[in-house]
Structure formats: C-alpha cells, structure tokens
Amino acid sequence: MRRITWGQYGGLKKELGDAKITVTTRFKGSGKKDLPAVVSQLDVLSFAHTDISERDPTLRLVREVRELRETLASIHRDVREATKQLPPPPAAP
C-alpha cells in the first residue's frame, strides 16, 4: 500500500510535472552529536498508476469487524431465544 500524505496527486502533478523534490533531513543524537543526514526524494510521478479506490484499508477493516460483531450479537440473541424454548434437562437419578 502507498499513500500520498503530502497533497493531492492532480495538484502536485500539475505544479511539479515530472520533477522530483529532494529533501535532506539532519538529526542530532544524544549529546548534540550530528547523525548522518538522510536524503529522500518525493516523486509524485511514482503514484501515477496507483489505485485510490480504497483510501484507507484500515477503515475497511474497521467496517468488516463492526459487521462481524453485529452478526455475532445476532447469533447470540438467536441462540439465547432458542434455548429458552428447549424442555428442561431430565433430573439426575
């Protein structure tokens, strides 16, 4: 799964075209020691053929779990009602 968390594809593509943005991030460790810089590229074009029909798979999972919970609750109610209609168990000898 890939997500664009830095804008909408259409607008970014319009503004940037095929250009890539290079980002250099610098960190300081404990004791103010410089850590190695991290260089990353933001490449809008790499998102050109990705599927955005399901924006967040986590939301789909939440919906599915909610539906499962409701189904199980319904089964529980049905079983509880069915057991009320059963004859009492025979007495022990």
Residue-range domain boundaries for the chain? 1-53, 54-85
pLDDT band for position 51 (cuts 50, 70, 90): low
Average pLDDT over residues 5-33: 84
Greater confidence, 51 or 38?
38
Question: Are 20 and 42 contacting, i.e. CB atoms less than 8 angstroms apart?
Answer: yes
Average pLDDT over residues 19-24: 92
> What tens digit of pLDDT does each residue of 68-83 get?
999 999 999 999 999 9
CA distance 65 to 63: 6
pTM, entire model: 0.41
